[in-house]
Amino acid sequence: QVQLVESGGGLVQAGGSLRLSCAASGRTFNAMGWYRQAPEKEREFVAGISWIRWSGDSTYYADSVKGRFTISRDNAKNTVYLQLNSLSPEDTAVYYCAAARLGSNSNVPADIDYWGKGTLVTVSS
């Protein structure tokens, strides 16, 4: 049974940092990512990481978080991380971990096979 369990959310002041973790169990995935959903908004892609044969991991980001957020993973722990820096109140959302089906990247919701339950990030001004 596949499970994605997020942790690391919380309350932080604007300009602060958090690190989110997503522990996967049941299998490994080539492509994983993070999405977020703010109140009364649709879920949106944040960051993804995909393993590419011969070249290793490739990372990709939404424009709104480029230069501030960093996605990484520890294959030995089957865990993906999202480092959030320079946070602003606009980053307040529930952050979801996602695992894409084989052969897909994680930046298209239709290609996501598994979702975590989410972890809340609240940024105060």
pLDDT of residue 71: 98
pLDDT of residue 53: 83
pLDDT of residue 75: 92
pLDDT of residue 102: 86
| Residue 30 identity (one-letter amino acid) | N
Beta partners for 7?
21
For residue 90 the two structure tokens come to 């606009």
Q: How long is the chain?
A: 125
Mean pLDDT by 10 residues, the chain (125 residues): 96 98 95 96 96 89 97 96 98 97 89 96 97
pLDDT of residue 103: 84
Query: Which of 122, 111, 88 is closest to 30 using CA atoms?
Result: 111
pLDDT of residue 6: 97
